[in-house]
């Protein structure tokens, strides 16, 4: 079920743009024209946008206006793109980052 707020007592009914299709970690999702990656995924119930590069713990949006970079994802192969500031385009391929090697850290991992 979509988490979109369709009716609002003051702001009125939601005016949706045309539907677009994109993927996140290989799964297909629908966004409406003008929606950000973060908003479209949250509307589909996806809150985890990446894992912490070292610890692997889940992360989602924090500030939603581009300051904190907590929502950084890969878009069409480009890393460190802010999901909260990037509007979905049809056919976009979005993926969460993965845990990165920490070979110099004591007890760290290499792959």
Partner 1 sequence: MIDALIIGAGPAGLSAAIACAKQDLSVVVIDEFYRAGGRLLGQLHQEPDGTWWNGIEEALRLDREARALGVDIRCGVSVYDVSRTPGGWNVSTTAGKMETPLLLIATGASETAVPVPGWTLPGVMSIGAAQVMTNVQRVRVGERGVVIGVNILSVAIARELQLAGIQIDRMILPPASSITGNAGLPEEVMRALLRVAHLAPSPLLRWGSRFMHSHWMQSLAVRLYPSRGFPMWDIPIQLRTAALEIVGKAQVEGVRIAQITPDGQPIFGTEQLIPADFVCIAGGLSPLAELAAIAGCPFAYVPSLGGHVPIHNDQMQTALPGLFVAGNITGVESAKVAMAQGKVAGLSMAHARGALTDLSPLTDAIRDVKAVRQRATIQFHPDIDDGRALVEKLALAP
Site for partner 1 in 78-107 (CB under 8 A): 84-87
Query: CB of 44 within 8 A of CB of 1?
Result: no
C-alpha–C-alpha distance, residues 11 and 26, integer Å: 35
Nearer to partner 1, 87 or 99 (CB): 87
Closest distance between partner 1 and the C-beta of residue 11, in Å?
A: 7
What does each C-alpha distance from 63 to 7, 20, 47, 58, 70 come to in angstroms? Answer: 25, 25, 14, 16, 8
Under the binding rule (CB under 8 A), the answer on residue 47 touching partner 1 is yes
- Which residues contact partner 1 (rule: CB under 8 A)? 3-6, 8-11, 14, 35-36, 39, 42-43, 47-49, 52, 57-68, 70, 84-87
């Amino acid at each position: 079920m979509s988490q979109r707020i369709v009716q609002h007592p003051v702001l009125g009914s939601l005016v949706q743009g045309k539907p677009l299709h994109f993927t996140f970690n290989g799964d297909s999702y629908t966004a409406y024209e003008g929606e950000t990656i973060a908003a479209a995924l949250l509307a589909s119930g996806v809150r985890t946008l990446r894992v912490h590069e070292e610890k692997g713990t889940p992360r989602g949006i924090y500030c939603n206006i581009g300051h904190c970079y907590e929502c950084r994802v890969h878009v069409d192969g480009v890393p460190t793109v802010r999901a909260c500031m990037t509007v979905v385009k049809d056919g976009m391929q979005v993926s969460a980052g993965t845990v990165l090697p920490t070979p110099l850290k004591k007890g760290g991992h290499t792959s």
